[in-house]
Chain A
């Protein structure tokens, strides 16, 4: 399973990347995508929405399950990946690139720093599997 270095991870299986310029990109991890199975629908937040850390910011559905997607850090939604409305399968085929969900601007850096690293998240997922 691939959890790229340089990203930060949450216990709810989101990843977040610092794009610089106070903008962060958010998606769900390969583990989350695999657990859900083939994604059939993605609900994204309204651009401009102000989010607190841990607040529901969207949802992802497969034929097996539906799950909320949470804001890994506080900030406001600056951009959403509209391509997911037409091609939800990108969440499975490209979870860290084309399958991104939304971007957070003016994100809370202090909250970002407390999230899990790739190594920590890998261990977290392994513990879940036991």
Chain B
């Protein structure tokens, strides 16, 4: 397929301007390019066909099974798109919230924010929720900033956050950006947090603990309550990374497990668009200890009307307006559409599907841990290294067979890791087709490894040289 630049023909245009009927202005030479920008010159139909074809070559959840572990690439029901496209939401000007005189014009939006925050708080066992953070890691940063504010106010000199090696990958970066030192806590061989190592790492400098539960090994942390209790005895706060909330929604609430603060990924658990299709949304929830520090302003109810107010010791604004509002609309529609029983069924089916894949693949690939798993299962491709086959070859071979690859080389605790998260919306037939493809790949790995090295062979581009792309990055035409 030609690049759009290769389709360029001098003088070809999609838009023809009217003749100039005002005096021509001259720009200061310092503001002018020395050479014209290298833009493609193409007609409208060229552009439409080019990008339509590109979009058809994409792997997306609407076209392909997408078992990208830890990312929860679940189907986004079209119902929620229709709700978010309602002109009352779509055409709403965000600055209506800027002055109390205009609040009567956006009561519906305020009510939706208020209600969604209330529903999320109920789902997670938190006291309050703020929709402001616009991504999962942004929620982590907001949470760690609140933890810092909590200790600052109490006069606690705390500079460290403890993070298990099985936590979600963004946690250390978020804690570091909030100004903390990060200390990693190792897992036991069974893939769960080592309570003795945790006890040793816990001291008077620890401000908080960031845990993912189930963790990125796909396992529920059986001692999470005990860990929360140990942390609270030293006044360290517990942060829950909601990346894997899909596994427990409706069955188990982070607040009940002892967590003080958390984020939700609306783009994972609540079926809003994800990946390149975003934008993301990472609301934070807090328990009693951090309620006063939530970002502001917040939507509050005053009698029958909604207005805005900031919590007493708010850390302030952490995004423009109220986060990605139209994403919140989709999540609200999704929650109301499924209801409590429906959300619980999501977790059941997500866990069932992951364990079905585990059961079918556990004799073909080496499980990284003993199952059963929660919503995702982790294998190691290390035993195939003797045939010269690596996780990357398996990922590429799956593309040839019409499946998006699972996550590879993460979690870092597992060699040659393959992390498979099927999500709840996949049928048994789809899971079987995926497992059949994996079985075929396992056979080829032993008998004809060279065919896997060549993959992908059916796609518009073959195996990309990722190493060279990283070493010799060149984004210019």
Interface residues of A (CB under 8 A from B): 35, 37-38, 40-41, 61-65, 88-89
* Shortest beta-carbon distance from B39 to chain A in Å: 31
How many A-B contacts at CB < 8 Å in the complex? 19
* Shortest beta-carbon distance from B159 to chain A in Å: 15
B409 at the interface (CB under 8 A from A): yes
Interface string of B435-477 (1 = CB under 8 A from A): 0000000000000000000000000000000110011000000
Give the chain A neighbours of B309 by CB distance below 8 A: none
The answer to whether A63 touches B412, judged by C-beta atoms less than 8 angstroms apart, is no
The answer to whether B470 touches A64, judged by C-beta atoms less than 8 angstroms apart, is no
* Shortest beta-carbon distance from B121 to chain A in Å: 35
The answer to whether A65 touches B409, judged by C-beta atoms less than 8 angstroms apart, is yes
- In B407-430, the 8 Å CB interface with A consists of 408-409, 412, 415
Of listed B409, B412, B466, B467, residue having the most chain A CB within 10 A: B467
Separation of A41 and B469 alpha carbons in the complex (Å): 12
Separation of A62 and B408 alpha carbons in the complex (Å): 13
17 A-B residue contacts at CB 8 Å?
A37-B467, A38-B467, A40-B467, A40-B471, A41-B470, A41-B471, A61-B470, A62-B467, A63-B466, A63-B467, A63-B470, A64-B408, A64-B409, A65-B409, A65-B412, A88-B471, A89-B471
* Shortest beta-carbon distance from A55 to chain B in Å: 11
Contact of A40 among B409, B415, B470 (CB under 8 A): B470
Give the chain A neighbours of B471 by CB distance below 8 A: 40-41, 88-89
Give the chain B neighbours of A89 by CB distance below 8 A: 471
The closest CB in chain B to the CB of A38 belongs to B467
Separation of A88 and B467 alpha carbons in the complex (Å): 11
Separation of A38 and B470 alpha carbons in the complex (Å): 10
Give the chain B neighbours of A38 by CB distance below 8 A: 467
Give the chain B neighbours of A41 by CB distance below 8 A: 470-471
Separation of A64 and B412 alpha carbons in the complex (Å): 9
Give the chain A neighbours of B412 by CB distance below 8 A: 65
* Shortest beta-carbon distance from B352 to chain A in Å: 31
The closest CB in chain B to the CB of A63 belongs to B466
- In B68-99, the 8 Å CB interface with A consists of none
Q: Which 5 A-B pairs have the closest CB atoms?
A: A40-B470, A38-B467, A64-B409, A63-B466, A40-B471
The closest CB in chain A to the CB of B472 belongs to A40
The closest CB in chain A to the CB of B409 belongs to A64
Separation of A64 and B410 alpha carbons in the complex (Å): 8
Give the chain B neighbours of A63 by CB distance below 8 A: 466-467, 470
* Shortest beta-carbon distance from B166 to chain A in Å: 15
Interface string of B187-220 (1 = CB under 8 A from A): 0000000000000000000000000000000000
* Shortest beta-carbon distance from A33 to chain B in Å: 13
Given A35-B415, A62-B467, 17 additional A-B pairs, CB 8 A: A37-B467, A38-B467, A40-B467, A40-B470, A40-B471, A41-B470, A41-B471, A61-B470, A63-B466, A63-B467, A63-B470, A64-B408, A64-B409, A65-B409, A65-B412, A88-B471, A89-B471
* Shortest beta-carbon distance from A76 to chain B in Å: 21
Separation of A13 and B82 alpha carbons in the complex (Å): 54
* Shortest beta-carbon distance from B262 to chain A in Å: 26
Give the chain A neighbours of B467 by CB distance below 8 A: 37-38, 40, 62-63
Give the chain B neighbours of A62 by CB distance below 8 A: 467
* Shortest beta-carbon distance from A129 to chain B in Å: 9
The closest CB in chain B to the CB of A92 belongs to B467
Give the chain A neighbours of B466 by CB distance below 8 A: 63
Separation of A40 and B470 alpha carbons in the complex (Å): 6
Separation of A9 and B467 alpha carbons in the complex (Å): 28
The closest CB in chain A to the CB of B470 belongs to A40
Interface string of B370-405 (1 = CB under 8 A from A): 000000000000000000000000000000000000
The closest CB in chain B to the CB of A41 belongs to B470
* Shortest beta-carbon distance from B70 to chain A in Å: 15
* Shortest beta-carbon distance from A81 to chain B in Å: 16
Give the chain B neighbours of A65 by CB distance below 8 A: 409, 412
Separation of A38 and B466 alpha carbons in the complex (Å): 10
Give the chain B neighbours of A88 by CB distance below 8 A: 471
Separation of A70 and B115 alpha carbons in the complex (Å): 48
* Shortest beta-carbon distance from A99 to chain B in Å: 15
Give the chain B neighbours of A37 by CB distance below 8 A: 467
Give the chain A neighbours of B415 by CB distance below 8 A: 35
- In B221-245, the 8 Å CB interface with A consists of none
